[in-house]
Amino acid sequence: MHYISTRNTKKKSSFREVFLNALSPDGGLYIPKEIPVFSSKELEELSKLSYKDLAGNIIFKFCSEEFSEKEVREIVENSYKNFRNENVVCLKKYDQNYLLELFHGPTLAFKDIAMQIIGNMYQKIIKKKNNTINIVVATSGDTGSAAIDALKGKNKINIFVLHPKGKTSDIQRKLMTTVNDKNVFNIAVNGNFDDCQTLVKSMFTDIEFKNTVNMSGVNSINWARIISQIVYFFYAYFQVINKEEKKINFSVPTGNFGDIYAGYIAKKMGLPINKLIIATNQNDILKRAINQGEYKIENVIETISPSMDIQVASNFERLIFNTNLKNDQDIIEKMKNLKNKKYFKIDKNQLNKIKVDFIAESISEKETEKYIYDFYDKYKYILDPHTAVAYGVLNKVSCEGTNIVLCTAHPSKFPKAISKVLGIQPKLPDNLCNIMNEKENYDIVDNNLFKIKNYILSKI
Ligand SMILES: *Cc1c(COP(=O)(O)O)cnc(C)c1O
């Protein structure tokens, strides 16, 4: 399988390049030239597999030039051995809707599912290479802790995590900053998440700097994260379709558009998902883009679902590419407009294509709190604020069939929001109950590309 860039369809890249570069040197995102499609007979076979066997099958499709089937199986096995659930995820039914819990990994958010795979892929690839890799990543809270857990203590890998100072929850920060391994560096940036993401993107497109530090990335633009996330759309679909003879929709709490884009790829691979529901908080750029045809950056609003406080949804570039007949020149034009004028337009034709697969809706803070309250009142189950957004939008959209809501974080990661609404503190899993008392390690750096680069250079 070859990969191309959304901004250059002529140049071919291997899985290893895609994995290590994360962002293509032309600033575009990598995408497979052809997406593999399963026949209905193959889908039937896949539906009988355990989560881990399914993961092995799906992930192998995308990286068979780099890893043998056996290696992929080892990667999967190692990645999920510390999860609190044998089948990685957990599906629960409440009235007509299903909740798909994705937070049973070490740092309590769905990002562990992909990040652990990435960590183990690095380890295998690095054995075939000589020099130390420096991973630089921006986080709004959950990516950072997941990446640190997946990479801490690994040989010949350093990890630098940029988080927006004071804008993550205390537990999110603690999960990052209390890790003591020598290869972990936390940077609190005086800015918001979009600033962090812009800094990281600038370093990736500065080829000289990137080569000097042998830089690599694990942000949600890394294709390996997408392929690891495709798996649970298949798994959940197979579980539910056995019980419900209906159309199946997924409601996904969305920020950078990585998770829901994995659902889209699952559909392109032949999984007959009905609709993918893009659920956002008040940072609703995706809703405005899809409903009005203008992708326009506005100021970021801080909410109780901070991992979705994003205006530039990086992976959306991939969808734009998939729905414009893979026209790289059009992407370059649109991204130039985004940079210079803070918006680009999507024409009617393309919007209609997007609407075949997607519905976009957002809810307010008040509504989010109401859904956390109501759900607990009814079922004694605590929705984390991100999940509550995805559950809440179901009441605003109309689409046929059964809904699966992706539960992206454990509620104990957001105790302030939960205790404000419910008056109770959600309990942390046992192995994390001391974390609030542990010593933190991080450095504060200005929102300044030069200073961030110097910081990284001084540590390697
Ligand atoms: C990262 C994150 C999201 C958003 O996922 P994207 O792939 O960026 O759209 C939603 N909820 C939680 C809890 C997250 O950590």
pLDDT of residue 220: 80
Active site (annotated) includes residue 111: yes
Å from CA of 222 to ligand 1 middle: 14
Å from CA of 212 to ligand 1 middle: 31
**Radius of gyration for the alpha carbons in the chain, expressed in angstroms and rounded:** 20
- Per annotation, catalytic residue among 52, 111, 167, 267: 111
- Contact, 164 vs 140, CB < 8 A? yes
pLDDT of residue 319: 98
Residues at CB less than 6 angstroms from ligand 1: 109, 111, 142, 220, 253-259, 307-308, 386, 408-409
Neighbours of 399 (CB within 10 A): 13
391 is written with which tokens?
């559950």
pLDDT of residue 252: 98
Half-sphere exposure of 319 (CA within 13 A, CB side): 32
Which of 118, 250, 307, 384 to mutate to test ligand 1, by most ligand atoms within 8 A of the CB atom?
307
The ligand 1 atom at the shortest distance from the C-alpha of residue 386 is 11
Determine the distance from the C-alpha atom of residue 4 to the mean position of all C-alpha atoms in its chain, rounded to a whole number: 21
- Contact, 62 vs 15, CB < 8 A? yes
The ligand 1 atom at the shortest distance from the C-alpha of residue 310 is 8
- Give the residue, by CA position, lying nearest to ligand 1 atom 14: 307
The sign of the dihedral angle between the CA atoms of 399, 403, 409, 414 is positive
pLDDT of residue 193: 87
- Contact, 254 vs 363, CB < 8 A? no
Å from CA of 422 to ligand 1 middle: 23
pLDDT of residue 246: 82
DSSP label at residue 380: S
Mean pLDDT by 10 residues, the chain (460 residues): 96 96 91 96 97 98 97 98 94 96 96 97 88 92 94 96 93 95 97 92 91 90 96 97 88 96 98 98 97 95 91 94 95 96 96 98 98 98 98 95 97 94 92 90 97 96
Q: Tell me how far apart the alpha carbons of residues 190 and 352 are, in angstroms, rounded to a whole number.
A: 40
DSSP label at residue 300: P
**What CA–CA distances, in Å, run from 177 to 43, 80, 188, 196, 294?**
42, 23, 10, 17, 38
Sorted by where each begins, the domain ranges of the chain are: 90-107+223-422
Contacts of 200-208 spanning 24+ positions with Cβ under 8 A: 200/136, 200/137, 200/138, 200/162, 201/23, 201/27, 202/449, 203/136, 203/449, 203/452, 203/453, 203/456, 204/21, 204/22, 204/23, 204/136, 205/23, 205/25, 205/27, 207/25
Strands 157-164 and 133-138, bridge-based pairing? parallel
pLDDT of residue 95: 92
pLDDT single digits (tens) 392-434: 999 999 999 999 999 999 999 999 999 999 999 999 988 888 8
Q: Tell me how far apart the alpha carbons of residues 131 and 62 are, in angstroms, rounded to a whole number.
A: 25
Which of 163, 305, 308, 384 to mutate to test ligand 1, by most ligand atoms within 8 A of the CB atom?
308
Give φ, ψ of 255 to 5 degrees: -125, -80
- Give the residue, by CA position, lying nearest to ligand 1 atom 1: 307
State the pTM of this model: 0.95
pLDDT of residue 317: 97
The ligand 1 atom at the shortest distance from the C-alpha of residue 254 is 9
CATH of 90-107+223-422, one of 3.40.50.300, 1.10.287.110, 3.40.50.1110, 3.40.50.1100: 3.40.50.1100
Å from CA of 254 to ligand 1 middle: 6
**What CA–CA distances, in Å, run from 142 to 39, 146, 340?**
35, 6, 30
Å from CA of 443 to ligand 1 middle: 25
